[in-house]
């Protein structure tokens, strides 16, 4: 009599293969999309302001053709916003057009979309394949219900994490949209005032051009920080950082010298302790962490001196940046390393902050196996710091 085959184990193997294939496909889609976003970030974005009759009120590329027939512009006038993806015969490139109605005009961004079409097709293919694989997994789960009852709690936790991630993605998208809206509104207002050139003095013209330049720079910094944060998170998730031995005490001394020169003598930055210590990491990213912490103290604290210390223990090194300015209220401390969190929103925007600096600090430190912390006594002292594991004594 032939041996009986345990079909439940075969089903389990088939389920594992389907899930592995699905995960690999999603990784390909995500990587392709991120590469496309990187291409977009390296190119210039055109800004066009269109009148109600379709004529061009302002364009960074000096376009003059009537835009009334452009799909995204028509939708924006009708519904408040519109988008389209098409080939530009003028520029000989594919562009992603995003338009939004502001008052009686429409502001349109033209973003070179190299790689977007490929990513979109790949994404839809991934969705279709994922649907088929999902149906197979559901059938297999039904067969294996009795064998998998002990893992239901773990599955429930995974679903909760997925729901939390979805909520986070929505909040992050809303925050980015809000941050983009402010500089775009400022640029549009300045452009409208420049349109009435006969009523403006030379100083007023220069001020308005300064607003356009400043807000454009703010947009660039925001996009740069968002892309930088995404890259750091990818390296953190995939554990693909390019690390080597870094002399942290030399790095601290170098960064403090650089930031002291930027302070131009208005604030004294001094090293109170700098123990010899080596860590495994990316020197450029670690410099970015310390520069961000010192820049925050210079920008927001109102202090006249900053103290930097690097203290090594048996297995870790702790770096702190202390200021003696206005301080931070206790209720804000748990949220300071969150994306777009600001203690004083209007002041932060005035000083040019994007709200992502401390989030970038947190993820760089975690990428290096460390942690961040903050403490503050308002009006007395505020300390930002991070810890990193030591790999050995400095040679």
- Token pair 């490929």 in the structure block, residue: 118
The separation between CA 379 and the C-alpha centre of its own chain, rounded to angstroms, equals 32
pLDDT of residue 227: 72
Give the DSSP letter string of 85-116.
EEEETTTTEEEEEEEEEETTEEEEEEEE-TTH
pLDDT of residue 110: 80
Largest distance between two CA atoms of the chain: 101
pLDDT of residue 169: 56
Question: In CATH, what is the architecture of 7-39+117-238?
Answer: Orthogonal Bundle (1.10)
pLDDT of residue 40: 47
Structure tokens at 290: 């310390």
Averages of pLDDT over runs of 10 residues in the chain (395 residues) are 49 65 65 56 70 86 79 88 79 79 86 59 62 66 60 61 53 58 71 71 76 71 68 67 86 92 84 93 90 88 90 93 91 85 62 72 89 92 94 59
Q: In 3D, which of 151, 133, 152 has the Cα closest to residue 17?
A: 133
Domain boundaries, the chain: 7-39+117-238, 44-112, 244-389
Fold of 244-389: Heat Shock Protein 90 (3.30.565)
pLDDT of residue 15: 63
List of residues 6+ apart from 357 with CB closer than 8 A: 225, 292, 295, 296
pLDDT of residue 168: 47
pTM value is: 0.48
The separation between CA 269 and the C-alpha centre of its own chain, rounded to angstroms, equals 29
List of residues 6+ apart from 67 with CB closer than 8 A: 48, 50, 54, 55, 56, 73, 108
* CATH class of the domain comprising 44-112: alpha beta
How many other CB atoms sit within 10 Å of the CB of residue 205? Answer: 13
Q: Cβ distance 86 to 69 under 8 Å?
A: no
In the chain the first and final C-alpha atoms are separated, in Å, by 72
Ramachandran bin of 279, using left for φ above 0, alpha for ψ from -120 to 50, beta for the remaining angles: beta
């Amino acid at each position: 009599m032939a041996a009986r085959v345990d079909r439940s184990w075969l089903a389990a193997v088939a389920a594992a293969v389907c899930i592995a294939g699905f995960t690999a496909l999603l990784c390909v889609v995500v990587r392709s999309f991120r590469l496309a976003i990187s291409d977009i970030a390296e190119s210039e974005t055109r800004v066009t302001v269109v009148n109600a009759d379709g004529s061009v009120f302002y364009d960074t590329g000096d376009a003059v053709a009537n835009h009334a027939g452009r799909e995204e512009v028509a939708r924006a006038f009708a519904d408040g916003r519109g988008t389209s993806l098409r080939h530009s015969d003028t520029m000989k490139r594919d562009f992603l057009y995003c338009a939004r109605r502001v008052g009686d005009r429409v502001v349109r961004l033209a973003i070179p979309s190299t790689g977007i079409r490929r990513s979109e097709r790949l994404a839809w293919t991934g969705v279709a394949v994922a649907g088929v694989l999902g149906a197979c997994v559901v059938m297999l789960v039904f067969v294996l219900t009795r064998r998998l009852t002990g893992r239901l709690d773990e599955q429930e936790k995974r679903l909760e994490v997925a729901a939390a991630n979805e909520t986070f993605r929505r909040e992050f998208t809303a925050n980015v949209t809000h941050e983009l809206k402010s500089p775009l509104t400022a640029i549009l207002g300045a452009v409208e005032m420049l349109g009435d050139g006969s009523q403006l003095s030379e100083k007023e013209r220069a001020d308005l051009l300064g607003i356009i330049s400043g807000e454009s720079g703010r947009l660039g910094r925001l996009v740069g920080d968002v892309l930088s944060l995404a890259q750091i998170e990818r390296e953190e998730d995939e554990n693909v950082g390019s690390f080597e031995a870094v002399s942290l005490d030399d790095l601290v001394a170098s960064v403090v010298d650089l930031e002291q020169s930027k302070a131009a003598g208005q604030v004294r930055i001094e090293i109170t302790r700098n123990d010899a210590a080596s860590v495994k990491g990316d020197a450029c990213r670690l410099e970015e962490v310390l520069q961000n912490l010192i820049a925050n103290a210079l920008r927001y604290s109102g202090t006249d001196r900053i103290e930097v210390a690097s203290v090594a223990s048996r297995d870790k090194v702790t770096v702190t940046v202390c200021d003696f300015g206005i301080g931070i209220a206790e209720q804000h401390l748990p949220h300071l390393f969150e994306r777009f969190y600001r203690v004083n929103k209007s002041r932060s925007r005035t000083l040019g902050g994007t709200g992502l600096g401390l989030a970038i600090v947190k993820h760089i430190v975690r990428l290096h196996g460390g942690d961040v912390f903050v403490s503050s006594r308002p009006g007395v002292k505020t300390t930002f710091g991070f810890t990193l594991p030591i790999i050995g004594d400095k040679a």
